[in-house]
Amino acid sequence: MYFFQDLFLPPQRSTVAADTDALFGFVHATSFIFLVLIVAAIVGFSIIYRRRSEHDSTPVITHNAKLEITWSVIPFILVMIVFGWGFRGYLNLRTAPPDAYEVRAIGKSWLWEFHYDNGTVSVGELHVPVDRPVKLVMNSTDVIHSFYVPDYRIKRDVLPGRYSSVWFEATETGESIVFCTEYCGTAHSDMMAKVVVHEEEEFNTWLATANVQDSNLPPAELGAELVVRNACATCHSSDGSELQGPTFAGLFGKTETMEDGTTVTVDENYIRSSILRPNEQIVAGYQPVMPPYEGTLNDNQINAIIEYIKTLD
């Protein structure tokens, strides 16, 4: 049993995963049984009713009420079982326990951003405690995204201009991958994150120290880490190669031509403005797809990114 489960499905790491997998197994087992019965009937009837001579003819058949009722009632019962089972799971996933820990999740092209109750913000990593319900209140700043964690069997569309929610309770510590399952543009396939599940005490420690854990790093080194952590490297290379946005290599001090024909010298003020409000000034030849980082990065983090860009000749 566990062999086939591991073969077809990811590991079960939430309280709702087992029930979802049971429904999945029921649908596939029922389908397999009917496949065998139908193939057997086709083969059997082909042998029994094959044409034996030129004088054989098909008998006149009107109808069989019992047979017609049977093949209508049995599929109806099976469909209603699947509907009821699935609807129960749907309602369960839409009704978070009252004691659930709430996290704000924001989808942006192309990253996931998470806001916690003490003001901590993490990008690309959702940190949660084990054996405790967690409710995600989600929205998008640009286009439709979809938050999907295969290990937890949860999936929910994330929409611009409105909120959606989903909840889960992780049953073991470790990491699980988050995917965006709604096509959202050029770097859609790179829009991944991970759920990091801690023991309760370890989670509380992380939450209390997350805002200050970068203070010991030199600015340029911290900036390099922030570029990766905030998915800047998805669109901006550091080696001169072309991606969705201008490369960071040799950027500082360069004169850029904007799409309106004006020119701008890349200095600290320009980089800061481009991080906080990136679509106010668009470099010619590029699309206005970068999400704003206002409220995500603080001044020290922005300064660190600027110092890192300065080191890239």
**pLDDT of 100 over the 50 cut:** yes
Domain boundaries, the chain: 2-52+61-94, 101-209, 219-310
Mean pLDDT of 86-107: 89
CB 170 within 8 A of CB 152: yes
pLDDT: is 216 or 38 the higher one?
A: 38
Mean pLDDT of 52-80: 81
Stretch among 133-137, 141-145, 224-228 having the lowest mean pLDDT: 224-228
CATH 1.10.287.90 for domain 2-52+61-94, yes or no, is yes
The answer to whether 2-52+61-94 and 219-310 have equal CATH topology is: no
Confidence of residue 212 (pLDDT cuts 50, 70, 90): low
pLDDT for res 138: 92
pLDDT for res 214: 62
Q: What is the pTM of this model?
A: 0.72
**pLDDT of 251 over the 60 cut:** yes
pLDDT, tens digit, 9 for 90 and up, residues 106-123: 998 888 989 998 888 888
CATH 2.60.40.420 for domain 101-209, yes or no, is yes
> Mean of the per-residue pLDDT values for the chain?
86
**pLDDT of 171 over the 90 cut:** yes
Name the architecture of domain 219-310.
Orthogonal Bundle (1.10)
